[in-house]
A and B are shown apart, each in its own frame.
Chain A
Amino acid sequence: MRVVIVGGGTAGWMTAAALARLVPAAQAEIVLIESEEIGIVGVGEATLPHIRAFNTRIGIDEADFMRATGATFKLGIEFRDWARIGDSYIHPFGVFGRDTDGVGFHHYLARAGQIGRLQDFSLPVVAARAARFAPPADDPESLLSTYGYAYQFDATRYAPYLRARAEADGAQRIEGRVVAVEHDAGDGRVTAVRLADGRAVAGDLFVDCSGFRALLIGDTLGEPFEDWSRWLPCDRAVAVPCASEGPLLPYTSAVAMPAGWRWRIPLQHRVGNGYVYSSAHLDDDAARDALLAAIEGPALAEPRILRFRAGRRPRGWVDNVVAIGLAGGFLEPLESTSIYLIQIAITALVELFPDGTIDPADRDEFNRVLAIEYDRIRDFLILHYHATERDDSTFWTQMRTMAVPDTLARKMALFRARGRVETYREGVFLEPSWIAVYLGQRVVPTGYDQRADAPDETQLARAIERLHAATAAAARAMPDHRDYIASIGAAA
């Protein structure tokens, strides 16, 4: 089977590298078409811990990868000014405190009247605030096993890095710009793409990694786009890198702004910045000025403006075209899910890779898996905007008062009642993530699990203080983030 990947950004090269490594060569010939004229969006600088499994599976060495992409470690995402101006919390890649007798730690804190201190009981939060980092431990008894980590890296360097691996594993790169798509009038299948120089590249399976253009899935096959901008109205971003000042922070920041939010992603060699905003509430010039006024050091490039729309295509796999990355859907980078969604699509494609002919049941399964992921991330993102007390701009008033999807309204009401999280078996964000964001956004439960009344009050207070001290001590014992990067030979 000949697989033609259209587009060579992060999605394209991740797909090529994974297919070349994980699908036997006898079963798939991998071709990727990209054009040097077309830049890559590359906003996905921040990742989730799942990226490590992806890198490991395709045989990437961590230190080598970090050097090549100027990467830093990431223990979580800081949200500043979201529920109220002046608020700050971190959504960590890890758990809070220690669950006891099947009851979540936050219930015990609530019973002790200290739920506002939850952040202090997350080792990755405390370490991140102190700009420290150490890798987690395997011993489940150790506090050091209570977290994971991801990376912050230069996305414009990740794709070339993967390209070298993909080509070494047999993927073939074709330089060219796709100008037309040829498909069978009878069964609708795409048969070839035509390049600007007249060449036709034929294939059996096409992977649309053409970004927002969605050349195959959208333009050719006409798969509609389900628009979610009524809940997620931000449709532009202005991005600019700047020189970094201060300590190297092992976390990404998302700072709420009058018409959206601003990211700050610390890399080894620079800081990535961007302002994600709603064009209905802010014009481009004002956004650019607000971003340039907010960044900490001199801008290292001209600000770039990106346009997008939140939503997804109901089906990412139609006929013999699989959309991976922005061609399949877009959710703003608030929770660093872009690369995660690429990875989920690739994993599903590898697991469901056609054996000769494409089985419609495989397509359905791919579409089911992706739809669940998108829907659940969507609700999680909306939560950040909606659970706010801010009334200082029309944007925030609109977000605060909008009607949210029933699935989210139900989850929020359940948490408010007794601090319970609606959990699920498929989908990315687990219970600690929801707890972090609910509490960080001032969705505070009015009750708690009755079992948290079991321990004696004094003993509970002592256990809480011991855990607090142990968490602080474990963080203090970690090396400085920048020093740790240098110590493992990962400094660029």
Chain B
Amino acid sequence: MSAPIRTIAVVGDGIAAWTAAAALAVRLPGVRVAMVPHAARHRAMVDVVGATTPAALPFHADIGWDWRDALARAGGAIRLGTQVSGRDDYLHAYGAVGHAIGARPFPAVWAAHGTRPFHDYAPGARLGLAGKAPSRDPALAEAIFGLVLDPDRYARAVEGYARHRGVMVPAAPLADVAHGDRGVTALHLADGTHLTADLYVDATGRERRLAPPGEEAAWDDWSGWFPYTALTITSAPADPALPSLDRMTIADDAITVATHLPDRTIHLRLARAGAADADTLVPGRGQRGWTGNVVAVGEAHVVLPPVQGLPFHWLHTGIDRIVALLPGADLAAVEVDHYNRTANEEADRLRDLLLAHLPLTDDAPDTLRDTVTDFARRLRWRQRDGEGFARDDWAQILFGRGIRPARLPQGGDAEQERHLLDAIDRRLTAAVAAAPDHRMFLEGLIR
């Protein structure tokens, strides 16, 4: 048996680095974790937009940090989904929508007889539109949610949590990285000391400071599919209503997103052509997130635009994957290859979900094209390897984009199905009316 990994050095700063350090320290027994500071050259999206997906909740539970406590320390709100307008008007809320009758999935029931928008049968969407938060009502049991974290306060909180859980922080920041045949051989620090570890985690974002020489070229650029690369971020006074849905507008020249915090609203604009003060954010992924003894997390592996909570989602699931697939200290190729295959599958599915909001182009990735055409032909949806979202996430987006199936699955009693639609609508109306207001819900959590 190969020796286990005993030491891990995370390099970077901001939320990605501290989150990785905290999670690895807590979740890997017998492993000592050091966090070597390295000032980021580019601000990571998780440090700017605090929107997460529902994956943030189990992620926090797994690192022993109750998400309610994280929210109380960092400030923030819950996030039920995204309200989209511009080209099409629709909502995407997390959680299952409606329920099947026999072999007929709910999307087929709706496509056959629905008179209201599809998202009106999504508990999270109804709550979000009403400014409400989930209650214990069984009709709302499927409404799951992510968080909107205040990035500045959360960065401090997660750093504090990491230190509290025993992450070691050297006195001096990174000065240089020494590379050998198998990857990094040492981290040279600014005070002349050096540090070595069994595994190095590159959390330096788009700089990819630990990438082995030559690895920079192994990069798939997604801006041909997602050309909105000029990014401007501004902050505005809070919306008194504190919406629990992001607002995204999609136009030909730009995509804008408003994410709501209790004390401010973060506005971002992703445009095809940048104004003078715009940053450049080119989406894409490194072909190998793990090479030798270096594994990249967050934007050091995959750059995703800050919509739909994708940057945080990728950070959380990526750290989970390192924990779940950690090889031994010998870093056997078969294990590293397995990690890379599954990581890339997941990244590509996130890319597809992102692109699903836009019109399908002639050169779209094959997997996305198949997903859209299967849905449009017969309402078929298959969970591909690496898929991180559920059928109903896709159904809300694709129905929302105006895609309607040419044919529906067999079966279905029209009267029974209309009755189901009415019953769901009535139950949701009653449950949402009785649910707590979003701000009240947050106050209840924090008390």
Contacts and interface: CB of A to CB of B under 8 A. Distances in A.
B377 A414 contact: no
B288 to A, nearest CB: 16
Nearest to B326: A450
Contact of A350 (B324, B377, B380, B410): B410
A425 B332 contact: no
Contact of A420 (B4, B325, B384): B325
Nearest to B332: A417
User: What's the interface size class on A, roughly?
Assistant: 20 to 34
Interface string A17-41: 0000011100000000000000000
A426 B103 CA distance: 19
B382 interface: yes
B387 interface: yes
Contact of A361 (B337, B338, B373): B373
A353 interface: yes
A452 to B, nearest CB: 9
Interface in A337-359: 350-353, 355, 359
A453 B29 contact: yes
A463 interface: no
A23 B412 CA distance: 11
A377 B228 CA distance: 44
B5 A24 contact: no
A23 B103 CA distance: 12
B75 interface: no
Contacts of B374: 365
Nearest to A361: B377
A351 B334 contact: no
B410 A22 contact: yes
A140 interface: no
By CB atoms of chain A within 10 A, which of B29, B334, B380 has the most? B334
Contact of B2 (A359, A426, A446): A446
B28 interface: yes
Interface string B324-337: 11111000101101
Contacts of A450: 4-5, 28-31, 326
Contacts of A353: 410
Contact of A417 (B324, B327, B411): B327
A453 B328 contact: no
A418 B382 contact: no
B99 interface: no
A451 B338 contact: no
Contacts of B4: 447, 450, 453
A351 B338 contact: no
A451 B323 contact: yes
Interface in A199-219: none
B383 interface: yes
A410 interface: yes
Nearest to A57: B103
A167 to B, nearest CB: 21
A86 interface: no
19 contacts: A22-B411, A351-B409, A351-B410, A352-B378, A361-B373, A362-B377, A365-B380, A410-B338, A417-B328, A417-B332, A417-B334, A418-B327, A418-B335, A422-B338, A425-B382, A425-B383, A447-B328, A450-B28, A453-B4
Given A102-B324, A453-B29, 12 more contacts: A22-B410, A23-B410, A57-B103, A351-B378, A352-B378, A355-B407, A410-B334, A410-B338, A417-B327, A417-B332, A417-B335, A450-B29
Interface of B: 1-2, 4-5, 27-31, 62, 103, 323-328, 332, 334-335, 337-338, 373-374, 377-378, 380, 382-385, 387, 407, 409-411
